[in-house]
Amino acid sequence: MEEIYGIQYTRPQVVLLQDTGIGVAETAARTCYDSFTNSENEVIKNLECNLPDESMCQELNSIEESALLDDLAWTYFHHSILEHANLSFLIRGTSRGVLQEHARHRIQAISVRSTRYTMSSIINAFVAAKITDNRAFFIENVLSFNMFVTADEAYNRLEISAMFDKLDFQYEKVEDFYSIAVAKSSLGFLDEFKNDTQALYGALQNGKKKRNVGDAFKHIITDNVKVDMVVTFNLRSLKNYFNLRDSGAAYFQIRWLAQEMMKVTPQKYLDLIVKKK
């Protein structure tokens, strides 16, 4: 947890899910130069006269060092061969603001927690709170979701209070608000528990969720909301990402993310893409 501009924030968590190794990248480079026999890696030398079998491929993917790749990356700046190595990261607890920054990195595969399908609990809390005009119920329940990268409870209460106001504004504008907020099969709960906020919330939570409920309510959340995602970079793109985002000029939240990603990136990749200090 760190304080930035007077507000406390939590850092994201990152796990490396998979990496394809550097052996394929060296194989690609040796193919360009027809120089298999010059490799210090015996399995690559054997590719001169042999198509690899399964055991050779496993050995290829376990290579830890490559002098050729190091020369191409740092002496000749021939970076296209780095595109043959890929790394996938699971990221938890970064922000929607960082997601916008990520979109500027063209060459990556990215899958993100969807607000279309994951806002039911927030809307259910509002519907339950609105039945008895219990604003505090909404704030306390949403606060328990731990849904913001900001860690100051007082600030997060302001965020949640603003969410309530936005939903309340929409409630007054939409003639049949509950039809867009609650699954058809759960509408009966509104009469059944009309005097019991907690019971109504529990029934809505346990009932069928409204499909795509976020379509009508995305406007209530801010860039401060946490998102989870899986991203896959090829090594050349990851080099670009680390160069730009592990920089004092970068937005501090994406700089934190780049730093956490770097921590879980094996050294054999960092040696090829990050300048030694």
pLDDT score of 30 more than 80: yes
Residue 137 to residue 150: CA distance in whole angstroms: 21
Residue 163 to residue 157: CA distance in whole angstroms: 10
Residue 47 CA, distance from chain mean position:
38
Q: Which amino acid belongs to residue 199?
A: A
Q: What mean pLDDT do residues 85-90 have?
A: 98
271 falls in which pLDDT band (50, 70, 90)?
Answer: very high
pLDDT for position 277? 65
Give percent of the chain with pLDDT exceeding 90.
Answer: 85
Task: Label residue 21 left, alpha or beta by phi (over 0 means left) and psi (-120 to 50 means alpha).
Answer: left
Q: What mean pLDDT do residues 92-99 have?
A: 94
Per the CB < 8 A criterion, the answer to whether 85 and 232 are in contact is no
Q: Could you please report the per-residue DSSP string of 114-145?
A: -TTTS-HHHHHHHHHHHHTT-HHHHHHHHHTT
pLDDT score of 23 more than 70: yes
pLDDT score of 137 more than 90: yes
Q: pLDDT tens digit string along 168-217?
A: 999 999 999 999 999 999 999 999 999 999 999 999 999 998 888 889 99
Q: pLDDT tens digit string along 222-254?
A: 999 999 999 999 999 999 999 999 988 999 999
